[in-house]
């Protein structure tokens, strides 16, 4: 919990600095690259989280991996290393992307279904969410067979659970209370 709060604070500060320098879009691309790289590399995650690896080595490795990034992104990496919070890099980058999208009037809706969304259903969900929020929305489809059927829609802090598993659990609670 404390790590996520810190990540949000670093992301907000980075976004403010990037916007002051009219570099929000460039830094957003850097952050997307960082999120992807950290997620795909187990070795990188282990190195960032290791208390044994010295901060200078972590900084040198990150500078080598992310050579061609904006100066704001370089500054973020420097600050995280000097504050010994470099393990937050992936979280900060993800939070930055979310905050940047929100500042641009874009949102991400996560639709969890038991099977992949069809193009027709994706279009309908996209339109409905756009009507509800008034923002540009992108849809990410997560597959979770445990929900049995239906869907779970999450936009920002709002969640609508229309899954069969949720309905069965509600029925089970109802029976157990009577």
120 in the same domain as 93? no
Residues 157 and 75 in one domain: no
139 shares a domain with 97:
no
Please, which pLDDT band fits residue 57 given cuts at 50, 70 and 90? very high
CATH of the domain at 43: 1.10.520.20
pLDDT band at 66 (very low <50, low <70, confident <90, very high): very high
Indicate whether 52 pLDDT > 90.
yes
Stated length of the chain: 178
User: Cα–Cα distance between 126 and 163 in angstroms, integer?
Assistant: 18
Same-domain check for residues 94 and 19 = yes
51, 84, 102: which is the final residue of a domain?
A: 102
Query: Of the residues 54, 76, 102, which one is the last residue of a structural domain?
Result: 102
Region 105-134: what's the mean pLDDT?
86
Are both 142 and 161 inside the same structural domain?
Answer: yes
By residue range, what is the domain housing residue 141? 105-177
Please check whether residues 73 and 22 belong to one and the same domain. Answer: yes
Instruction: State yes or no: pLDDT of 4 exceeds 60.
Output: yes
Give the C-alpha separation, 47 to 44, whole Å: 5
Query: Residue 88's pLDDT is what?
Result: 95
Query: Which range, of 29-33, 45-49, 123-127, averages the lowest pLDDT?
Result: 123-127
* Total count of domains within the chain: 2
- Helix H, strand E, coil C: the string for 79-108 is HHHHCCCHHHHHHHHHHHHHHHHHHCCEEE
User: Which of 70, 102, 134 is the last residue in one of the domains?
Assistant: 102
19 plus 90 within the same structural domain: yes
What's residue 1's pLDDT?
42
Q: Which residues contact 44 (CB under 8 A, 6 or more apart)?
A: 37, 38, 61, 65
pLDDT at 124: 84
Shared domain for 143 and 109, answered yes or no, is: yes
37 plus 122 within the same structural domain: no
* pLDDT at residue number 121: 84
Regarding whether 48 and 127 lie in a shared domain, the answer is no
């Amino acid at each position: 919990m404390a790590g996520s709060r810190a990540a949000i604070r670093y992301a907000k500060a980075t976004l403010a600095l990037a916007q002051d320098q009219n570099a929000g879009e460039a830094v957003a691309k850097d952050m997307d690259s960082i999120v992807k790289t950290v997620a795909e590399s187990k070795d990188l995650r282990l190195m960032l989280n290791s208390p044994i690896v010295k901060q200078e080595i972590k900084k040198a490795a990150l500078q080598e991996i992310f050579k061609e990034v904006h100066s704001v992104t370089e500054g973020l990496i420097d600050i995280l290393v000097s504050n010994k919070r470099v393990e937050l890099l992936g979280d900060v980058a993800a939070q930055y992307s979310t905050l940047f999208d929100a500042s641009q009037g874009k949102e991400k809706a996560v639709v969890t279904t038991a099977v992949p969304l069809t193009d027709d259903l994706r279009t309908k969900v996209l339109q409905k969410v756009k009507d509800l929020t008034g923002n540009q929305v992108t849809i990410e489809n997560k597959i979770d067979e445990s929900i049995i059927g239906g869907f779970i829609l999450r936009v920002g802090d709002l969640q609508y659970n229309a899954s069969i598993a949720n309905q069965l659990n509600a029925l089970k609670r109802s029976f157990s209370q009577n």
